[in-house]
């Protein structure tokens, strides 16, 4: 096979240090990126009508947007690029960067996309190292995503944040806490306070929906602060609290490629580049503070590039001088006893901490021995509903739900074997009983003679009066 390689290919591989397979992978990737970029440009480029047509009403200026044409141009939450508010990050650009931003603005003007603040353009350009073509492709991908998920309407649709069970738990790990003395948002981020297998249990659609709400709320909050102060501070400071990070969490996540891969699928970070100004890592356990590479398992590469490990009094004083001691929680070295920012009531940090919320969310973690099965029996009244959500940490299991009415028992779900090897979603469903019934849920590991299974399970019953019970 190596003899079939062309001279051009072998030279390219030698110059770039690539073998034949690596070179072909790179070639396929570049080809795919070109095709994808062309498709995006074609999708967003307005098409001229082949014949003159009568237009009785003005067409909407941008694609897939439910706003009327008479309303203000679409913007980052609530602002447009003609807001007249100063922005330090834009002011710091040199002449070349300003010209590239203008070029990107010109290309977007000919496409069917919303008109947004220059900050958006600058963030995507900086993220792509000021490569105009790559930034344009990433920007159009972002607009296509925003259209598909209804990003511009999510806060109006769920103003109180009451959308699913994932969002409140997400807030416990990424909480907008205060505003520092420079006008930047301060985010309190926690690692290790939820089980390492959480990404295996949560549904990806609900996780992405929750992150979308968070990202849009932060955008809107920064817009509101800009109107109050007259200065745009679009980048936040993240306080990364590692006090809950223990060796079991590290061992579980580092040993489960499935958990890490699903975690990367459950993020919207690629559509919000350049939103972090600086990160401070606090309360790091000894095994993590001595090995910087360990922290890269839990934190993104971009965040680590802006991170400083606070391991002593000198670093702590430097952080407090940067942010202001009144804007940092007491447990992280400041003197703030409560968050300053007002979120919707269901998402506000409780005075006694997040313990009760996390306890009510946490699913069961059940070990099923090799050759055994796990059974759950629930008896419910007529009109009540039962719902379930479960996943395995890894491997496979046979699942069946049996319903018993009087003396008759029938299979209402399954039996079916489910495999969890890579990005498989958790299994969920619900049933409503027309008559008083007994339901038996069975997870069978009888086909395995050597390996146990770890089952993550949530079973809930909603009574006829609508009262949920676990």
Check residues 326 and 27 and name the one with the higher pLDDT. 326
pLDDT of residue 446: 92
Q: What is the pLDDT of residues 246-300, one digit of tens each?
A: 889 988 988 999 999 999 899 999 999 988 999 999 998 887 666 566 666 666 6
**Quick one: average pLDDT of 135-154?**
95
Tell me the pTM.
0.81
Q: Taking CA 268 as the corner, what is the angle to CA 267 and CA 269, rounded to the nearest 5 degrees? A: 95
Q: What is the largest CA-CA distance in the chain?
A: 82
Say if residue 189's pLDDT is above 70: yes
Q: How far apart are CA 337 and CA 412, in angstroms?
A: 52
CA distance 25 to 355: 47
Highest mean pLDDT range out of 31-40, 67-76, 147-156, 406-415? Answer: 147-156
Residue with tokens 């100063």: 86
Q: Which residues contact 179 (CB under 8 A, 6 or more apart)?
A: 185, 186, 225, 327, 340, 341
**SS3 category, 459:** strand
Place 65 in a pLDDT band, splitting at 50, 70 and 90: very low
Taking the C-alpha atoms of residue 320 and residue 235, their distance in angstroms, rounded to an integer, is 18
Could you tell me the sign of the dihedral formed by the alpha carbons of 121, 125, 130, 135, in that order?
negative
* Rounded distance between C-alpha atoms, residue 9 and residue 24, angstroms: 9
pLDDT at 325 over 50: yes
Strand duo 395-405 + 408-420: pairing = antiparallel
Q: Which two tokens stand for residue 408?
A: 């008759």
Instruction: List helix spans (H) across 230-377.
Output: 247-254, 257-265, 286-289, 292-295, 301-305, 313-323, 355-361
**Among the listed ranges 76-85, 110-119, 122-131, 430-439, which one has the minimum average pLDDT value?**
76-85
pLDDT-based confidence at residue 409 (cuts at 50, 70, 90): confident
Average pLDDT over residues 63-77: 37
Q: What distance in Å separates the CA atoms of residue 441 and residue 433, rounded to the nearest whole number?
A: 15
- Please say if the pLDDT value at position 44 is more than 50: yes
In sign, the C-alpha dihedral spanning 53, 57, 58, 59 is negative
Taking 60 as the threshold, does the pLDDT of residue 470 lie above it?
A: no
Residue 468: both structure tokens together: 């949920």
Nearest-angstrom CA–CA distance, 452 and 371: 8
Averaged pLDDT, 448-466: 88
Class of domain 153-360: alpha beta
Distance CA 326, CA 190 (A): 20
Q: Name the 3-class secondary structure at 376.
A: strand
What tokens appear for 164 in the block? 């699913």
Separation CA 212–CA 268 (nearest Å): 7
- Name the pairing type of β-strands 276-282 and 185-190: unpaired
Mean pLDDT for the chain? Answer: 83
Range with the poorest average pLDDT among 187-196, 316-325, 457-466: 457-466
* CA–CA gap between residue 283 and residue 319 (Å, rounded): 14
- Closest by CA to 170, choosing from 249, 269, 248, 296, is 269
Query: Does a cis peptide bond (omega within 30 degrees of 0) precede residue 182?
Result: no
Residues 6+ apart with CB under 8 A from 165: 206, 361
Please tell me the predicted confidence (pLDDT) of residue 306.
82
Query: Where on the phi/psi map is residue 406: left (φ > 0), alpha (ψ -120 to 50), or beta?
Result: left
Residue 78 scores a pLDDT above 90: no
Give 315-350 as a DSSP string. Answer: HHHHHHHHH-GGGSBGGGTS-B-S--S---GGGSPP
**CA–CA separation, 13 vs 188, rounded Å?**
46
Tell me the C-alpha distance between 424 and 417, whole Å.
13
Which residues in the chain are classed under CATH 2.60.120.680? 364-469
Q: Do strands 236-241 and 276-282 pair parallel, antiparallel, or not at all (unpaired)? A: parallel
Take residue 403 and report the two structure tokens written for it: 């319903």
Q: What percent of the chain has pLDDT over 70?
A: 77
Cα separation, 115 vs 351, in Å, equals: 41
User: Which range among 274-288, 290-304, 329-343, 351-365 shows the weakest confidence by mean pLDDT?
Assistant: 290-304
228, with CB counted inside 10 A (0-12, 13-18, 19+), is exposed
pLDDT band for position 68 (cuts 50, 70, 90)? very low
Examine the pLDDT at 407 and tell me if it is beyond 50: yes
Boundaries of CATH 3.40.525.10 in the chain?
A: 153-360
Closest CA to 237 of 320, 315, 141: 320
Angle between helices 118-127 and 95-109 (to 10 degrees): 110
Kindly state the tokens that stand for 330: 């007491």
d(CA 463, CA 383): 7
For the domain made up of 364-469, give the CATH fold.
Answer: Jelly Rolls (2.60.120)
What per-residue confidence (pLDDT) applies to 57?
A: 38
Express each pLDDT in 414-425 by its tens digit: 899 999 999 999
pLDDT band, residue 1 (cuts 50/70/90): very low
| pLDDT of 67 over the 50 cut | no
Beta-bridge mates of residue 353 = none
Strand partners, 462: 385, 468
Q: Which residue has the tokens 């105009």?
A: 132
């Amino acid at each position: 096979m190596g003899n079939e390689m062309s001279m051009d290919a072998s030279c390219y591989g030698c110059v770039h240090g690539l073998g034949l397979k690596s070179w072909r992978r790179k070639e396929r990737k570049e080809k795919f990126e070109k095709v994808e970029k062309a498709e995006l440009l074609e999708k967003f480029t307005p098409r001229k009508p082949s014949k003159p047509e009568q237009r009785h009403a003005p067409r909407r200026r941008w694609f897939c947007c439910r706003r009327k044409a008479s309303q203000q141009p679409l913007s980052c939450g609530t602002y447009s690029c003609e807001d007249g508010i100063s922005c330090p990050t834009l002011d710091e650009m040199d002449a070349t960067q300003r010209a590239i931003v203008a070029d990107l603005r010109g290309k977007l003007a000919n496409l069917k996309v919303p008109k947004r603040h220059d900050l958006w353009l600058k963030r995507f350009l900086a993220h792509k190292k000021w490569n105009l073509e790559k930034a344009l492709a990433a920007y159009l991908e972002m607009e296509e995503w925003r259209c598909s998920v209804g990003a511009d309407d999510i806060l109006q649709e769920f103003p109180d944040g009451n959308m699913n069970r994932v969002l409140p738990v997400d807030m416990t790990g990424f909480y907008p806490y205060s505003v520092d003395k420079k006008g930047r948002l301060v985010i309190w981020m926690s690692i290790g306070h939820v089980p390492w297998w959480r990404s295996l249990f949560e549904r990806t659609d609900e996780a992405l929906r929750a992150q979308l709400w968070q990202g849009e709320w932060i955008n809107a909050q920064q817009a509101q602060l800009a109107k109050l102060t007259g200065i745009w501070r679009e980048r936040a400071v993240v306080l990364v609290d590692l006090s809950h990070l223990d060796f079991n969490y590290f061992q579980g996540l580092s040993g489960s490629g499935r958990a890490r891969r699903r975690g990367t699928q459950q993020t919207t970070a690629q559509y919000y580049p350049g939103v972090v100004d600086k990160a401070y890592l606090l309360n790091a356990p000894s095994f993590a503070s001595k090995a910087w590479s360990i922290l890269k398992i839990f934190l993104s590469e971009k965040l680590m590039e802006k991170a400083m490990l606070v391991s002593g009094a000198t670093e702590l004083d430097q952080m407090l001088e940067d942010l202001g001691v009144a804007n940092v929680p007491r447990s992280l070295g400041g003197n703030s006893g409560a968050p300053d920012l007002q979120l919707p009531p269901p998402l506000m940090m409780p005075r006694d901490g997040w313990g009760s919320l996390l306890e009510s969310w946490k699913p069961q973690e059940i070990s099923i021995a090799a050759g055994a099965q796990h059974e759950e029996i629930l008896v419910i009244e007529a009109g009540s509903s039962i719902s379930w959500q479960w996943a395995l940490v890894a491997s496979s299991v046979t699942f069946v739900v049996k319903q018993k009415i009087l003396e008759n028992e029938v299979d209402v779900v399954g039996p079916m074997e489910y495999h969890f090897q890579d990005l498989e979603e958790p299994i969920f469903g619900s049933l409503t009983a027309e008559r008083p019934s007994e339901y038996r849920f069975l997870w069978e590991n009888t086909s395995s003679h050597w390996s146990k299974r770890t089952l993550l399970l949530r079973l809930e019953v909603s009574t006829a009066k609508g009262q949920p019970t676990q």
